[in-house]
Amino acid sequence: MSTGPRTWEGPSAPERLGLLRDAKSIAIVGASDKPSRASYFVATYLLSSTRYKVYFVNPVVKEILGQPVYASLADLPESPDVVDVFRKHDDLPGVLAEAKSAGAKTLWLQLGSWHEDVARDAESAGLNVVMDRCVKIEHARFHGGLHLAGFDTGVISSKRQLLA
């Protein structure tokens, strides 16, 4: 997470919906084969609940959810529409360089990930940028699937609800 005030403004909800609607492929950079990791949860959702061609990028993992894993964005068989990033803050400039070289259209930084310099550089290169948002949550929100992850219970409470 970058320090200092946030000055960059990302796309509106309708614009994010448009980015997801127009995308045909998503590359998850920093994908993990560990079920406890957020990237694994997102990968499971994208494979089971969307029409996207999903690519996994991780130089040390060979397979995730029965799918091949690529060492870098350059190794993908096509240019990804969305590069969904699960990497630490200091790695983001390098991921942007790879995304530009791979011909990506959108750089999407996951929840908790914010890097204003990378966002400005990406936009200068013609990429769309989304930061501090989860592809899975956004897709589910726009497509009525939040209940699949237990986000849309209809109850507003700080206490866990018992389901009948």
Structure confidence by residue, pLDDT tens digits, 74-89: 999 999 999 999 999 9
Query: What does the pLDDT look like over 38-69, one tens digit per residue?
Result: 999 999 999 999 999 999 999 999 999 999 99
Model confidence at 127: pLDDT above 50: yes
Long-range Cβ contact pairs of 11-18 (< 8 A, separation 24 or more): 11/128, 11/129, 11/130, 13/142, 16/130, 16/133, 16/138, 16/142, 17/138, 17/142
116, 123 contact by CB (below 8 A): no
pLDDT of residue 162: 52
Whether residue 100 has pLDDT greater than 60: yes
- Kindly list the domain boundaries of the chain, sorted by start residue: 13-144
Q: Under CATH, which architecture does the 13-144 domain have?
A: 3-Layer(aba) Sandwich (3.40)
What pLDDT does residue 150 have? Answer: 46
- Coil/strand/helix, residue 5: coil
Confidence of residue 4 (pLDDT cuts 50, 70, 90): low
What's the predicted TM-score (pTM) here? 0.86
User: pLDDT tier at 141 (50, 70, 90 boundaries)?
Assistant: confident
Residue 20 backbone phi and psi in degrees, to 5: -70, -35
Q: Are the beta carbons of 82 and 106 closer than 8 angstroms?
A: yes
